[in-house]
Structure 1
Amino acid sequence: MKKRKNSEKALHAELERRILHGLACEWEMACRILKPAHQKYMKSPLFRLREMKYSLGKWFPVKREIALSRDFVLHHSWDSVVEVLLHEMAHQFAHEVLNGRHEKPHGPSFQEACRQLRANPKASGSYPPLSDRLCQTDQNTEDRILIRVRKLMALAESQNRHEAEAAMSKAHVLIAKHNIDLITHSRERVFISAFIGVPALRRFREEYALAHLLQDFYFVRGIWVSAYVMEKGKMGRVLEISGTARNVRMAGYVYDFVRHFTDMQWDAYTRSTPLSRYRKSDFAIGILEGFRSKLESPDDAGGEDTGTREMVRVEDPLLTGYMAYRYPHTRSIRRGAATQDGAVHSDGVRVGKKLVIAQGITETGKGGPRLIGSD
């Protein structure tokens, strides 16, 4: 028993060590957005996990320490942790670079620091963490749309293929019409950014294709950002999507559903004849192409021309402005063409044309298992 406890303590200590290293890596990465003149005066602080009842994090100027709540860090997503880290970095920046020592904690210097670091000025105290806010809904009539979408997605589980595809098509049209109404009437909306998937050192071709599909059909914008890979102890990349909380939830649900569907179909496809990981990318990209063709031609499934093709092309100027502010320096990476097994790819396309997004995947959150994307 004593040996087991010692082993558990060692594992816990190693986890905290990796977390603290991750905070240091994220701090260094966040500084790169600052002007060179400001970067010069930002010196790396100490990082610590503390027992904190009334705060998610805190900047201690005398100790030059950024402390985060141990319970918060251990029980929330990494993007939630980074959001709080940036908030505390803004306090450090205001104090050590902008000379805001004698101002109120959230005074002008702090607000300017948040602007430069793209930090959330509210991410402290009793403010809900990012992962919790993502699950919140507005208690207004717009939620009726989500209720209708959820009912249609439940119908999409039907064993009758035509009924299932028609229900999925109607759900997509409803989502599109709602978003077009918000955009064309310039209605007020708040945007949120969240990781989907997990940070990794290497990304496969189908992950980029799936990111493009989400951006083209689910009213979100995606960008690959640097993020700490806990198990490797290094900075890698993860897909961060931005949009209204409702759209980010939906896009995250679709992302998980498609990944799960692809894995199951690949397992079945290779049960008798194992194939390499590269062929899985061929198969997965085929699935995405097949599914994309359904989204581009919804009238083929539902029997009526829904006009979705025209609607999904509408750009959201407010979201474009939000992205320009959040990511002032971006670059495109052109990937070389990869060799592809045409037969495996074609089989994937056929499978993708049968893909129907429905309810059914669960995940375990702080409140226990729930439907991904459900409220």
Structure 2
Amino acid sequence: MDTKLIEKIQKLLALSESSNRHEAELAMLKAQELLAKNKLSLKEVKEFKTFSSAIKENITKVTFTKAKWKAKLAKLIADNFGCYHYFKTRRTNTITFFGREEDITVCNIVLEYAVDCINSAVKRLRYQYMREGCSTRGLENDYALGFIDGLHEKFEEQKKRNQEWGLVLVKDKEVVDAYSQIKFKGTVKTNTYYQGYSEAYEKGYEDGEKFSISDKITERETEEPMALGSGI
């Protein structure tokens, strides 16, 4: 039995208990689709005990210098999928996830998708503000902060209403132990502050609460495995 496939379906089943009705329905539909396609029963998947996958790091394609909100977004995602995050620094800061292979893969998918969503929304807002003759300096930051806070609220609601979500959050003891052995050189300052764009922040918050990740977990089912960083 394909362990990675089973783990993917198990994650979708956990998400199907989401308090967000659309999110839950989409996750269950994706799970049912994979079950039917691979001729698996729900009982088989629920009872299957997967072996722990390798602990690795995943160096993402997401980098930042001034856009420090990306670091805050990465932390939120890592914390909600049982992983750690840190940065590879050389001229710019590259976001890196650390944890079980299947978990860092999900983190990478969700981060890239969230950053794309934020960038697209900011592009539209910036055009609107410029047409009205308004400054857009700090606009991206405030929309992103709103999005992150909205996504955080979504995760908190899932934790309150869905016990299964707790399984997604917990960091594996072996992952914790492995992370504690990493020697970091210096720190990266990631503090970022609200700039005063209340409408952008509120729009970001609304979009963050509506952000859906279920489809992205299965979207790459037929794609080549993502390259992972080698050494720690």
Where structure 2 has 5 or more consecutive residues not aligned to the other structure, the ranges are 31-45, 227-232
Name the TM-score, length of structure 2 as normaliser: 0.68
The alignment partner of 1:273 has SS state of helix
Give the Cα–Cα distance (whole angstroms) in 2 for the partners of residues 334 and 263 of structure 1: 19
Give the Cα–Cα distance (whole angstroms) in 2 for the partners of residues 353 and 272 of structure 1: 23
Q: CA deviation at 1:283?
A: 0.4
- Gap change, CA 1:334 and 1:291, over 3 Å in 2: closer
Q: Bigger relative contact order, structure 1 or 2, given CA contacts below 8 A and separation 6+?
A: 2
2:182 pairs with 1:326: yes
Name the TM-score, length of structure 1 as normaliser: 0.44
- Gap change, CA 1:329 and 1:241, over 3 Å in 2: same
Percent of paired sites with the same residue: 14
2:142 pairs with 1:279: no
The correspondence of residues 321-360 of structure 1 with structure 2, limited to 5 A, is 321-329=177-185, 331=187, 333=189, 335=191, 337=193, 339-359=195-215
Q: Which residue matches 2:8?
A: 146
Q: Which amino acid is the alignment partner of residue 211 of structure 2?
A: L
The correspondence of residues 76-115 of structure 1 with structure 2, limited to 5 A, is none
Aligned mate of 2:71, from 208, 216, 223: 208
Q: CA deviation at 1:298?
A: 2.1
Number of matched residues?
200
**Which whole-Å deviations, capped at 9, do the CAs of 1:44-77 have from their partners, x for residues lacking one?**
xxxxxxxxxxxxxxxxxxxxxxxxxxxxxxxxxx
The alignment partner of 1:192 has SS state of strand
Give the Cα–Cα distance (whole angstroms) in 1 for the partners of residues 127 and 70 of structure 2: 23
**Which whole-Å deviations, capped at 9, do the CAs of 1:297-356 have from their partners, x for residues lacking one?**
0279xxxx3125654553432112212223355546463645332332122112222211
Q: Which amino acid is the alignment partner of residue 69 of structure 2?
A: E
Give the Cα–Cα distance (whole angstroms) in 2 for the partners of residues 328 and 352 of structure 1: 31
Give the Cα–Cα distance (whole angstroms) in 2 for the partners of residues 269 and 216 of structure 1: 29
- Gap change, CA 1:328 and 1:226, over 3 Å in 2: closer
Rg (Cα) greater in structure: 1
Q: Which amino acid is the alignment partner of residue 162 of structure 2?
A: T
Alignment check: 8 A CA contact 1:205 1:285 kept: no
Give the Cα–Cα distance (whole angstroms) in 2 for the partners of residues 188 and 338 of structure 1: 41
- Gap change, CA 1:285 and 1:262, over 3 Å in 2: same
Give the Cα–Cα distance (whole angstroms) in 1 for the partners of residues 125 and 224 of structure 2: 27
Q: Which amino acid is the alignment partner of residue 166 of structure 1?
A: A
Alpha-carbon RMSD across the aligned residues, in angstroms, is 3.9
Q: Which residue matches 1:218?
A: 81
Q: Which residue matches 2:155?
A: 295
Q: Which amino acid is the alignment partner of residue 285 of structure 1?
A: L
2:79 pairs with 1:244: no
Give the Cα–Cα distance (whole angstroms) in 1 for the partners of residues 27 and 137 of structure 2: 32
Q: CA deviation at 1:359?
A: 2.9
Q: Which amino acid is the alignment partner of residue 212 of structure 1?
A: K
The alignment partner of 2:215 has SS state of coil
Q: Which residue matches 1:29?
A: none
The alignment partner of 2:23 has SS state of helix
Q: Which amino acid is the alignment partner of residue 246 of structure 1?
A: E
Q: CA deviation at 1:267?
A: 2.9
Q: CA deviation at 1:292?
A: 1.4
The alignment partner of 1:298 has SS state of helix
Alignment check: 8 A CA contact 2:71 2:190 kept: no
Where structure 1 has 5 or more consecutive residues not aligned to the other structure, the ranges are 1-138, 156-161, 172-177, 228-234
The alignment partner of 1:343 has SS state of helix
2:114 pairs with 1:258: yes
**Which whole-Å deviations, capped at 9, do the CAs of 1:24-59 have from their partners, x for residues lacking one?**
xxxxxxxxxxxxxxxxxxxxxxxxxxxxxxxxxxxx
- Gap change, CA 1:145 and 1:198, over 3 Å in 2: closer
The alignment partner of 1:353 has SS state of helix
